Amino acid sequence: MDNNSCGAKCATDHKKCCVVKSCLLPAFAVFVVFMLSEGLLHHVLLMPAYQATAAVWRPAAQMQDYFYIHLIRNAVVALIMTCLYNCIASGAVQQGKCPVGKGAKFGLKIGVIIGITNFGTVAYLPIPMSLALSWLVGYALIGLLAGIVLGLIYHKCNNDKIGNA
């Protein structure tokens, strides 16, 4: 394997290409996965639970005022998740392991971390245990999906690198 550890074919400016192809583009894909999946989780699947506990939450109009925080949080988490996965996947590929499987396992772990932090809010918010458990399971699945997407992107980059070497 060559010195190109970013998992992408970088002929001219290796550092710039590495950042874009192995971090920024995959992070954007993970960001999209988070946004779409959370939209489905919160605005469709869990909406009845939120409506049943409406007194706990900000009014919808007020939530919209803080939506930018949601965007920033998802962008930062996506970037960190992608960069961490990139470090893990480089070693996995060198060992001949499938980056998609590694991505799924990694994503599930990240999803459980996010889910368990959301689950913990049951200790100080008057919400049903079922809602907190739904957050735990929902974020585990979102993390799993994001990890699979990372693995697929990384797998494609490595296949392109091998095919164009």
**Residue 7 counted as domain residue:** no
**Residue 32 counted as domain residue:** yes
Which residue segment(s) compose the domain that 123 sits in?
A: 14-164
Helix pair angle (67-94, 99-119), 10° resolution: 140
Domain count, the chain: 1
**Residue 3 counted as domain residue:** no
**Residue 5 counted as domain residue:** no
Q: Note down pLDDT in tens along the chain; length 165 residues.
A: 344 444 444 444 445 555 566 778 899 999 999 999 999 999 999 999 999 999 999 999 999 999 999 999 999 999 999 989 988 887 766 677 778 889 999 999 999 999 999 999 999 999 999 999 999 999 999 999 999 999 998 876 655 554 443
C-alpha to C-alpha distance for 155 and 165, rounded to whole angstroms: 15
pTM of the predicted model as reported, rounded to 2 decimal places: 0.82
Helix pair angle (25-40, 67-94), 10° resolution: 130
Alpha-helical (H) ranges within the chain are 14-19, 25-40, 47-52, 60-65, 67-94, 99-119, 129-164
